[in-house]
Amino acid sequence: MYARTVNGRDLTFGVSGKLVRNSLIMYDRETHSLWSHLTGGAIQGSLSGTQLQVVTATQTAWAAWRKAHPDTRVLPHDYPGQTDHYAGYFGGTDAGILGRKRDDNRLPAKARVLGIRILDHPKAYSLDAVGRARVVNDTFVDVPLVVLATADQAAAAFRRDLAGQTLTFATGPNGTVIDRETGTSWDPVTGRAASGVLVGQTLTPLPATDSFWFGWFDFFPGTALYR
């Protein structure tokens, strides 16, 4: 997710119909520049080289989101007879229309990952591995972080330093998340302390991208990987 204001001007985006390494390319209607949806950077046109500001967002199951945000408003999207035209693509093993530009067998091509970039250094977290662990404490480019499973094949990433203290997270009773330093219980969707010593405090979310492994690796071939 990105903010769409560039140089004080609000841009309106659409789908160009073009692909780069099997990744959707957007265009803005104001300048007709082309943008990568994976990197948020303009790759062609008068705004080439411009970078959209990343906005943190959470991908999770509806039940988990509704529990964390019961007053959520929902954009209507269902209609009678609706079908998922991409069901076959998601269920298949092919690596997109264009195939893979680079091969990396550390994960299957269609494995889902949560990708982060810190100071332009990329790292991917296998969502299968995060789902098994539920809680992944990590330090990447000197940034202490935690990746929390929020649902099946979904996770969120947060900094785990708070008010000068670095916390270590673990699974608690009934699938909760706690920190070992204070015993505080945390909501994995929002990163907010739900009860305990730090109640009311919120972890800083890290911008992250849900992607197929082959797509992430094609763009970031030097990526680190948690699996």
Q: What is the CATH number of the domain that holds 122?
A: 2.102.10.10
Residues 170 and 225 reside in one and the same domain: yes
pLDDT tens-digit profile of 123-150? Answer: 999 999 999 999 999 999 999 999 999 9
Is residue 133 domain-shared with residue 218, that is, in the same domain?
A: yes
The CA angle 159-160-163, to the nearest 5 degrees, is 100
The H-or-E segment that residue 23 falls in is strand 23-28
Q: Strand 121-126 vs strand 112-118: parallel, antiparallel, or unpaired?
A: antiparallel
- Alpha helices by DSSP H, listed for 81-193, are 87-91, 127-133
Residue 54 within any structural domain of the chain: no
Range of the domain at 130: 59-227
84 in the same domain as 192: yes
What pTM, to 2 d.p., does this model score? 0.88
Assess whether 30 and 92 both reside in one domain. Answer: no
Q: How many domains does the chain have?
A: 2
Q: What is the pLDDT of residues 37-85, one digit of tens each?
A: 989 999 999 999 999 998 888 888 888 899 889 999 988 877 777 887 7
